[in-house]
Structure formats: structure tokens, C-alpha cells
Amino acid sequence: MLEIPDQFKEKFTRLLGEAAAADLFAALRQPSKKAYRINTLKEGRVSYSQEKPVPGIPHAYYGEVSGKDPEWTSGLVYSQDPAAMFPAQAIPVQPGDRVLDLCAAPGGKSTALGQKLAGQGVLVANEISPSRAKILRENLERWGVTNAVVTNADSASLSARFPCFFDAILVDAPCSGEGMFRKSEDAIKYWSQENVDLCADRQKEILTEAVKMLKPGGYLLYSTCTFSPEEDEEIVSWLMDEYGFKVLPIEATAQAAAGRPEWGNGAVSLENCARFWPQDGVGEGQFVACLKAAGENAQAFASVKKGREKKEKKKGKGSKNRLERPSKEEAGYISEAIAGFNWPESLATWPSQVLKSQDHVFVPALDPAQLKGIKILNNGLELGLLKKKRFEPSHQLAEVLGQVTQERVVDLDERDYERYLHGESLQVASGLKGFVLVSSRGLVFSFGKLSGKGQLKNYYPKGLRQ
Ligand SMILES: C[S@@+](CC[C@H](N)C(=O)[O-])C[C@H]1O[C@@H](n2cnc3c(N)ncnc32)[C@H](O)[C@@H]1O
């Protein structure tokens, strides 16, 4: 492990006192803690130990998972720092809500939010970096979330499309990563007080846009994986002073330390923030603040919203880019390819909602008109692709259909599972024909296509092969 910078040590000795600072520095030399969450959207047996639950987080356990196991490829588990599980747990989200995860990749918190929504309402999961947005999409897809819109945009472009729109917004901000010192040498290498200050400025920029998108009385969950007050209590103080946010107590953080009023504007309610220190034994460093917006937010942005709606009505008329529904012939190809699969209840009405954009067929989570000008990686459930006189179901659909019991399944033994992950076609003993779900240890992780002679064509996406 690299040496912790002297300037960091001096700063935290000043802030915490000698003894507590020494505890922190000693904990930073210990190995990091590993944990995983189980996906309640899916059924299936997890082979990992469930002996040590993460306290306060339902369905979460200490232990390491492998990205090669069927538990992972089928989206039954997600590997996550235990302390990083608390932001999504702390934000009040109900099925049916409109939720935004503004800095979402790789998707640890988005997968948990998708689970909380249970297929009702919408999750906009946004990531500014194109390569990380792709990973975010893959993780949500694996998790079987059907009501997420994955976007690749900056916060200002989003706020122009969604004024006063969301019931809850999670800003898990890019930060100086002091809480990641045990996990990432880069976090130590690139640490400097200048970077802490730069991060604080960027956090304010992002939050300024987030605030515009929140409904009056909505919830804003702000989190970082850093210890510096400039990025934590000072930012929360700024949200309180500038916008009138209230800091709510967070349940289920018995093992976290309280926020430090003296590191911010002195308000006692800053104690409601949760600080996870590595020496407390939960996981890595994490700061969590749950805030409630004041009512006036409505007035501030109502005018923006009205203006936008008017413009859209005008534009909408006669627009050539309108999405279509699949033709009767195309609907026939779709039905033929996916006949015989059982659907989750939340998708019972999909045939009446399905849309087509060029050859992509999907069930939108949000009206595509609302997303004009935003780069979208996925809107709701991608059903698949129309090809010449046939239809190819998507990988996302396989991960979604894996949520319910199916008959059209081919289960692979360990060796064939590995070969399938590599992209090989297999010879299997099955009387089925056409598209089938492919599983291992009963966990569905892909589509495949069977010829009548037991030849299983590989449909595991090229980008995911290992
Ligand atoms: C702490 S990470 C998010 C982790 C994620 N919430 C999770 O739980 O998996 C912060 C993310 O913010 C993104 N980011 C960086 N600069 C940003 C900006 N100016 N606006 C929005 N997001 C930004 C980073 O690319 C990074 O993916």
C-alpha cells in the first residue's frame, strides 16, 4: 500500500485529535471489507455464505463473490462495499415514485433503487462518462430492472428536461475518495487538498442542477466516499442555507458515527448525517445525508416547466421523428420468437405499450418525447431487434424472464456453462426448438437458440463473454 500523504495526516490529526486520527490511520492499513447484496427481484439459491449479515441492510452479507459465477451472470447478487449500501437504503423511495440517480455508474445504488421500485414508477440512472454508462446499463440489465432509463448526460442537460420532476434524487457525488484509500492506490496517489477543493466546487455544480429537478418536498440523498468536511458537512450546510433543505435522521445506521455540526454551519441537525469510518468496522469510508426539499422549490421552477411544455406541444405537432408501434407483420415475428415464456406480473400489459425505434423494439419507462436531446442507452425494457422477417430477443429480456419460473430452459453443467460464457455453441440433450433461456444451477443468464437436433446457438452478448 502507498504511504498516506502527510498533508492528509496533518489535516485529520487537527480535525479528530491525536488518538482518533491514529485509529483512522491504523484502520486504513487493514484490508478492505467485501460484501454482496441479494436481488429480491429474482428467485434462486445463493451458494455464498449468509452467516454475517451487513447490519441495517436487508439481504446483504459479508463475503466475496466472483463475476464468473452464475449468481453474478444471472444478476442474483451484486458485489458492493458494505458502507456504500447505506445511501440507497436511506433514501425514502416507494414503488411508483419517480427517482433519479444522477451519478450512477457502475450502478451499486441504482440496482438497489430499481429493487425498491419493484417495477413501478421510473428510475432515471444517469452517468456522465460514456464508458461507465455502458457498464451501468449492463448492471441494471443483469439485475432485471424493467423501469429504468439509462442516460449519458451532464447534469445541466438533464435539468433542462426534468424541472421539478422527481420525488427523490440520489447524488452519489464524484469526490476525492479518501474513504477508498484501502481499495484504490490511485485514491492515495492523486490525493491533494487542491483536489478536495476542486471536488467541492464540482459537487455544488452538480447539486445546483439536481435541486432544479426535485419536486417540492422531495428527497435528496447526498453521499460521498470521502471524509473531508469541505465535501461533506460544508456541502450539506450550503444546501440548507442556499435552498432551505432540512436534514432528516437516517434509520438503520446504528454503526455509523454522527455528522459533525462544527465542520459545517454549526446546525445541530448536521448530526443526522451518517459518517462511516473504516475503524468502525462496517466497511470503507462513506458520508450520507438525507435531505428534504422546502415547499418553495415549486414556485422557483414552475415557470421553467410551463415554458417547456408549451414549446413541446408546438414541436410535437407533425414531428417526423415520432416513434411507431410494430406493424402487424412485425408483431407476428415478435410473438413467434417469444412464445411459451412466462412474464413477470409487472409486465402484464407490455403488448399495449410496445414501441419501435428503427429496428429496436422496447417497452418504454418514460415517454421518449421527454428525453429529446439526451443520449439514452436504454429506455425501459428492450425486447429485442427486428431482423429480416424474424425477431431476436434481447439479453435484457432473458435477465427479466429469469425472474419467473420457465419451462423453456436449458440448464448447463459447470463445464458447458464456462464454454457458453466464452461464446461457444453447444450440443445439448433437449427436445425444444427455437429461443430458449439458458441457465446454470437453475439461474437464468442468457438466451440461446435450439435447432431441432439439440444444437444450442450462443446468444450470450459478445461484450459480456469471458
Ligand atoms: C462515486 S461514483 C458513483 C458510484 C455509483 N453511484 C455506484 O453506487 O455504483 C461518481 C460518479 O460520478 C461521475 N461524475 C464525474 N463527474 C461528474 C459530473 N460532473 N457530473 C455528474 N457525474 C459525474 C463519475 O464518472 C462517477 O461514475
Asked if residue 213 and residue 357 are part of one domain, the reply reads no
pLDDT at 61 over 70: yes
Q: What distance in angstroms lies between residue 221's CA and the mean position of ligand 1's atoms?
A: 14
Strand partners, 35: 62
End residue of a domain, out of 405, 435, 455: 405
Distance CA 213, CA 138 (A): 26
Distance CA 152, CA 185 (A): 27
312 located within any domain:
no
pLDDT digits (tens, 9 = 90+) for 330-344: 999 999 999 999 999
Write out the three cell numbers for 218.
422531495
16 located within any domain:
yes
The pLDDT score that the predictor gives to residue 255 is 83
In sequence order, which ranges of 181-326 are alpha helices (DSSP H)?
Answer: 185-189, 193-213, 233-243, 297-316
Asked if residue 340 and residue 417 are part of one domain, the reply reads no
217 located within any domain:
yes
Which residues span the domain enclosing 394?
Answer: 325-405
Asked if residue 46 and residue 163 are part of one domain, the reply reads yes
Asked if residue 279 and residue 269 are part of one domain, the reply reads yes
Asked if residue 85 and residue 104 are part of one domain, the reply reads yes
Write out the three cell numbers for 203.
459537487
Write out the three cell numbers for 50.
449468509
Distance CA 298, CA 215 (A): 7
CB of residue 107 inside a 6 A radius of ligand 1: yes
Asked if residue 49 and residue 191 are part of one domain, the reply reads yes
Backbone angles phi and psi of 127, in degrees to 5:
-145, 130
In this structure, what DSSP letter does residue 324 have?
A: B
Percentage, residues of the chain above pLDDT 70: 94
For ligand 1, mutation pick of 113, 124, 128 (most atoms within 8 Å of CB): 128
332 located within any domain:
yes
Q: What distance in angstroms lies between residue 19's CA and the mean position of ligand 1's atoms?
A: 33
Q: Is 273 a catalytic residue?
A: no
Q: How many domains, the chain?
A: 3
pLDDT digits (tens, 9 = 90+) for 74-132: 999 999 999 999 999 999 999 999 999 999 999 999 999 999 999 999 999 999 999 99
466 located within any domain:
yes
Write out the three cell numbers for 333.
415475428
pLDDT at 307 over 80: no
320 located within any domain:
no
CATH code of the domain containing 150: 3.40.50.150
Asked if residue 241 and residue 110 are part of one domain, the reply reads yes
pLDDT at 317 over 70: no
Asked if residue 209 and residue 88 are part of one domain, the reply reads yes
The DSSP code sequence of 83-148 is GGGHHHHHS---TT-EEEESS-TT-HHHHHHHHHHTTSSEEEEE-SSHHHHHHHHHHHHHHT-SSE
Write out the three cell numbers for 21.
486520527
End residue of a domain, out of 236, 270, 292: 292
The reply to whether ipTM tops 0.90 is yes
Confidence class for position 26, pLDDT limits 50, 70, 90 = very high
Confidence class for position 1, pLDDT limits 50, 70, 90 = confident
Asked if residue 192 and residue 160 are part of one domain, the reply reads yes
Rg (CA), the chain: 24
